Structure 1
Amino acid sequence: MTLADDRLTQTDSNGVRRPSQLRLAVVLGALVALGPLSIDMYLPALPKIAADLLTSESTIQLTLTGTLLGLGLGQLLVGPLSDALGRRRPLLAGAAVHVIASVACLVAPNIELLMVARVLQGLGASAGMVLALAMVRDLYDEREGATLLSRLILVMGVSPVLAPTLGSAVLSWTDWRGVFVALGTLSLLIAVYAAFALPETLPRTRRRPLELRDTLRTYGGLLRDRGFVGLVLVAGFAMAGLFGFVAGGSFVFQGQFGLDQGQFGLMFGASAVWLIAATQLNARLLRRFAPHQILVTGSMFASASGLLLLVTAGTGFGGLYGVAIPLWTVLFFTGLVLPNAPAVALAAHGEAAGTAAALLGAVQFGVGAITSPTVGLLGNDAPAMGVVMAAGTVVATLFLVLMARPWQRDDLPAPGVPAVTH
C-alpha cells in the first residue's frame, strides 16, 4: 500500500474527495454485508418463528423470498435515483429504511406484517449493495475497481456463510425477535459510520435528471448493449454456483453424508476459504493481467469444475471428498469471475454507473431467488446441487463466449497498463 493509500482522503481530478482504499473497503464492505446478513441471519429461527406466528414452515419461508424480492427491486429503483441525486442521500435513506423495517420485524404480531417488513428490509439493504458498486466505479477505473471489488466480493462470500452462525449465537441468549434487534442495531451503526466516512462520489456535473422517461431510456440503452447484457448474465449465472452451495450444502453434507452440525460448520468454513482465497488472489493477478483475461480463464475452469462435480455427485465416485473437492474448485474459480464480470461491465458505463450496477445486482439476486428453490425441487441432494452449480457455471461461460466477448472490446486496458483514476 502506498503512502497515498494510507491517507484518510485524497482528492481526484474532478474535485471528489476520495477516501483511502482501506477506509472505503471497510465501510462499503459493511454495506454489502447487510444484504446477506438480512437474508441468512434469521434462518436458524425459521421453525420457531412458524410456531410462534401459528403458520406453516413453507409459509414462513416466503419471508426469505420477500427479502430477495426487496433486494432485487430495490436495486432497480436506487440505481437511477443515485444517478440523479448522488450516492450519499439514497445510501443513508436505504440504511434508515432497513432500521425501521428491522423494528417492524421485531414487533410483527403476525406473518402478514412480517412479510411486508421483510420486503422493506430487503429494499433498505439493496441501497448499500448497489451503491457500493457505483461508488467504486465513480472513484476508480476498471483495473483498480476490480481490485477493490475483490475485497467486497470477499465480504459478500463470507457473509452468507457466517450469518447463520451469528444468528445461532444470538438465538442462544434470546428469541428470534432478538435477531432483528441485532440487524437493526447493525444497520444503524453502519449508517452513522457511512455518514462520517463516505464523501459524495458523484459530482453534480455528472448527475442525470430523475425522469421516468430518461430512466427507461437509460435501462433501454443498457439492455441494447450486447456486451453489457452478456456480462450481466455472466455475473448472474456465476452466482448460481454460490447460491446452489448455500441452498443445498446443509442437506447434502448433513442429510446425505451424515455430518453433525459442528462438522458441517467446519465443512462450510473450509468451502468458504476457497472463495476467499480466489478473491484475494485476484487482486494480485490484476497487477499482471487485465480483468477480462482473468474473467475468461476463471469462467472456463469454473465450468470444467462444475461438470466434474456433476459427474462425481451423480455417480457417487469418491464419496464425501468426491463432492467436496470439485465443489471447492468451483467456488475458487467462481471467486475469480465474480469481481471481474461487474468491473468489466461497468467500465463502459461510468455515465450511468448507478443504474448499471442496479441491473447487475437485480439479475444476481433474481438468479439467487430461482436457484435456492430449484435445489430443493431437484431433491436437496448432491446430484441436485451438482446440477444447479454445473448449469450456472456452464451457462455463464456460454454467455461470456457467445454474447459478451470482452476480448473484442477496444476500450479495455492492456495487461500491465497503469490504472488512471477518474
Structure 2
Amino acid sequence: MNKRRMLFILGISAAIVSLAQSLYIPLLPDLQQDLNTSLHLVNLTVTLFTVAMATMQIILGPIVDRNGRKKILVPGIIIYVIATIGCMFSGSIEMLLIFRVIQGIGASSVPLVAATMIGDVFEGKERAESMATYQMILGISPAVGPLIGGIIGSQFGYTGTFGFAAVSALLILIAAIFMLPETKPVNIKPAGTRLGLKAFGKILGNKIGVVVLLSGFIMYDVFYTFIVFLPTILQTKYALGAASIGFFSLALMIFNLVGSKISGSLQTRIGSVRTLFWAGIMTILSLVIFIFAADYSLIALLLSLMLTGFVMGLATPVMPTLLSSEFVEERATAMGVYNFVRYLGMATAPLIGSFLYPLGNIQLLIGITALLVVMVVFVTNRLLPIKKSEVTN
C-alpha cells in the first residue's frame, strides 16, 4: 500500500465533494432567475446541503466503525454522483432542494472516512504531518470553489457547474474502488451498543474529546466569521469592489493553507496539545491586532488578516490528530462527532455575527470571537496541562 498516494486520493476526494458547498455560489442570482424562485429558497439549497452533511456525520460514524471504511465510502460517492446529476437536470427549485439533500447525504461519508483512514494508516509523527497535509488539500476547496464555479458558470450556467462536480466525483469514485484499500483494523471490535451510544458517551466524557470538540466548534466559528463578514468590513470601511474583496479573501485562505501545512512539522517538534495551546494564544493576539489594524489602514488590515489565517491554520489539523490517537475503536465515531461540531461552528458564525456586527461593528464582532478563543485556551490548559515531556502520540 502506497501511503502517500492514498493520502493524496483521500485529500482530493474530500476537497472535490466539498466543492458542492461553494462551487455555484457565484451563480445564485442566475439560479434564482432560471428557476423563477425566491432568494430565500435559492439560499436554502446551500443550507440544506450543509445540514444534511453535518447530520450524517453522527449517523455514519458508528456505522463506519462497525462495518469498515471503504464499504461506506464507495456507496457514499455513488449517491453523491447520482444526486449531483439530479441537481444538474433539476427543472424546479423543489427538485433541486431534494437532490441537494441527497447530495449532502452522499458527500458526508467522504471527509469522515478520509480522516478515519488517515488515522488508521499513519501513526505518531507521520499521523500529525499527514493530517496537516490532508487539511491543507481540503482547505483548497473553499478557496478555489467560487473561482472555478464562476469560470464554468459564465460559459455553461449552473448546470455546467454541477456537471463538473459530477464528472470530478466519478473520477474519485474510480480511484476509490481500484486504489484505496480497506483500512479498518481487523483485530478491533467497536465497543458500545448497536447505536453507538456507549462510544458517544466515551468521547464526550474524555478530556481530549471535550477539548477537541470545543476547539473545533470555536475555531471554525471564528474562521467563518472572517469569511462571511470580511466583504462587509472591506466594503463599508474602504469601499472596495468585488475583485479587491476577492483578493483579501484569497489571502486569508492561502495563509490558512500555509499554516495547516506547517502544523504537522510543529506538532512533531513540540507535541499536538502544545501546538493547539500556542496556536490559540497566537489566534487571540492576531484577533486583537486585527481590531486595531482594520481601522488603521488597508495594508495593516491585510497583514493582520494573513496572520490570523496562518495561526488558525496551525490549529485546525491538531484536532483530528488528537482524536485519531486517543480513540482507536471509536475512531470514525469520534471523527463524525468532531465534523458535526465544526459544521455547527460554521453555521453559527453568520448567525452570531449578524447580531453582533450591527451593534458594535468590528470591535464587538472580533472582540467576542477573541473571547471565545480565550475560553478554548483556558479549557485546554485546565484539562490537558502541558508537560515538558509531552510528545505527539
TM-score of the superposed pair, with normalisation by structure 1:
0.85
User: What is the CA RMSD across the aligned residues, in angstroms?
Assistant: 2.6
Q: What's the counterpart of residue 261 of structure 1?
A: 242
Contact 1:292-1:341 within 8 A present in 2 as well: no
Q: What's the counterpart of residue 376 of structure 2?
A: 399
Query: How many residues align structurally?
Result: 393
Q: What's the counterpart of residue 88 of structure 1?
A: 70
Q: What's the counterpart of residue 201 of structure 1?
A: 183
Relative distance call for 1:219 and 1:143 in structure 2 (3 A) is same
Structure 1 residue runs of 5 or longer lacking an equivalent are: 1-8, 10-18
Contact 1:302-1:334 within 8 A present in 2 as well: yes
Relative distance call for 1:381 and 1:155 in structure 2 (3 A) is farther
Contact 1:92-1:191 within 8 A present in 2 as well: yes
Matched, 1:309 2:309: no
**Is the partner of 1:172 in helix, strand or coil?**
helix
Structure 2: how far apart are the matches of 1:262 and 1:270? 13
Matched, 1:336 2:314: yes
- Cα deviations across residues 105-128 of structure 1 (Å, max 9, x unaligned)? 112222222112112212211111
- Cα deviations across residues 181-213 of structure 1 (Å, max 9, x unaligned)? 111111111111111221111033314379544
**Is the partner of 2:390 in helix, strand or coil?**
coil
Q: What's the counterpart of residue 151 of structure 2?
A: 169
**Is the partner of 1:173 in helix, strand or coil?**
helix
The Cα shift of 1:403 comes to: 5.5
Relative distance call for 1:156 and 1:38 in structure 2 (3 A) is same
**Is the partner of 2:270 in helix, strand or coil?**
coil
Q: Structure 1 vs Structure 2: percent identity of aligned residues?
A: 23
Structure number with higher helix proportion: 2
**Is the partner of 1:174 in helix, strand or coil?**
helix
Contact 2:12-2:138 within 8 A present in 1 as well: no
Structure 2: how far apart are the matches of 1:203 and 1:249? 44
Map 1:106-145 to 2 at 5 A: 106-145=88-127
Q: What's the counterpart of residue 179 of structure 1?
A: 161
Matched, 1:372 2:353: no
Q: What's the counterpart of residue 299 of structure 1?
A: 280
Structure 2: how far apart are the matches of 1:265 and 1:352? 40
Structure 1: how far apart are the matches of 2:347 and 2:282? 25
- Cα deviations across residues 28-84 of structure 1 (Å, max 9, x unaligned)? 111221343110001011111111222221221111111110110121122111101
Q: What's the counterpart of residue 13 of structure 2?
A: 31
Contact 1:35-1:71 within 8 A present in 2 as well: no
Relative distance call for 1:190 and 1:413 in structure 2 (3 A) is farther
Q: What's the counterpart of residue 329 of structure 2?
A: 351
Structure 2: how far apart are the matches of 1:146 and 1:202? 19
Structure 1: how far apart are the matches of 2:163 and 2:146? 15
Matched, 1:240 2:221: yes
The Cα shift of 1:382 comes to: 10
- Equivalent residue in structure 2 for 1:216, among 197, 215, 236: 197
Structure 2: how far apart are the matches of 1:236 and 1:143? 25
Matched, 1:58 2:40: yes
- Tell which deviates more after alignment, 348-357 or 136-145: 136-145
The Cα shift of 1:258 comes to: 3.1
Structure 2: how far apart are the matches of 1:115 and 1:389? 34
- Cα deviations across residues 95-152 of structure 1 (Å, max 9, x unaligned)? 1111111011112222222112112212211111111111111122353222111111
Which amino acid is the alignment partner of residue 137 of structure 2?
V
Q: What's the counterpart of residue 321 of structure 1?
A: 299
Matched, 1:192 2:174: yes
Contact 2:61-2:112 within 8 A present in 1 as well: yes
- Tell which deviates more after alignment, 246-255 or 121-130: 246-255
The Cα shift of 1:309 comes to: 2.0
Relative distance call for 1:409 and 1:249 in structure 2 (3 A) is closer
Relative distance call for 1:211 and 1:189 in structure 2 (3 A) is farther
Structure 1: how far apart are the matches of 2:140 and 2:322? 23
- Tell which deviates more after alignment, 29-38 or 393-402: 393-402
Matched, 1:20 2:26: no
Structure 2: how far apart are the matches of 1:24 and 1:397? 37
**Is the partner of 1:206 in helix, strand or coil?**
coil
TM-score of the superposed pair, with normalisation by structure 2:
0.91
Which amino acid is the alignment partner of residue 395 of structure 1?
L
- Equivalent residue in structure 2 for 1:273, among 249, 254, 266: 254
Q: What's the counterpart of residue 130 of structure 2?
A: 148
Structure 1: how far apart are the matches of 2:264 and 2:246? 28
Contact 1:252-1:382 within 8 A present in 2 as well: no
